[in-house]
């Protein structure tokens, strides 16, 4: 991730920010989901919608 991309992301979740490369959506959404699972964190409805869309790009 470039410095500019990292600044644009800040602390936004997948409902407010997505990696600029659609080819990275699968990796990003899997990592986000894994972290939520490991720490027992909830997922908001907007996050869920965005994650489903990004996970649909996985082969």
| Maximum distance among all Cα pairs of the chain, rounded to whole angstroms | 30
Flag whether pLDDT at 10 surpasses 80: no
CA 44, 36, 52, 22 torsion-angle sign: positive
Q: For the chain, first and last CA: distance in Å?
A: 22
Domain map (residue ranges) of the chain: 21-59
Higher pLDDT, 11 or 22: 22
Q: What is the pTM of this model?
A: 0.81
Span 20-47, mean pLDDT?
A: 97
Phi-psi sector, 40: left (phi>0), alpha (psi -120 to 50), beta: left
């Amino acid at each position: 991730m470039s410095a500019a991309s990292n600044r644009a992301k800040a602390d936004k979740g997948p409902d407010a920010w997505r990696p600029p490369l659609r080819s990275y959506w699968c990796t990003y959404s899997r990592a986000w989901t894994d972290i939520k699972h490991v720490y027992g964190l909830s997922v908001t409805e907007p996050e869920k919608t965005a994650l489903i869309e990004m996970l649909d790009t996985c082969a």
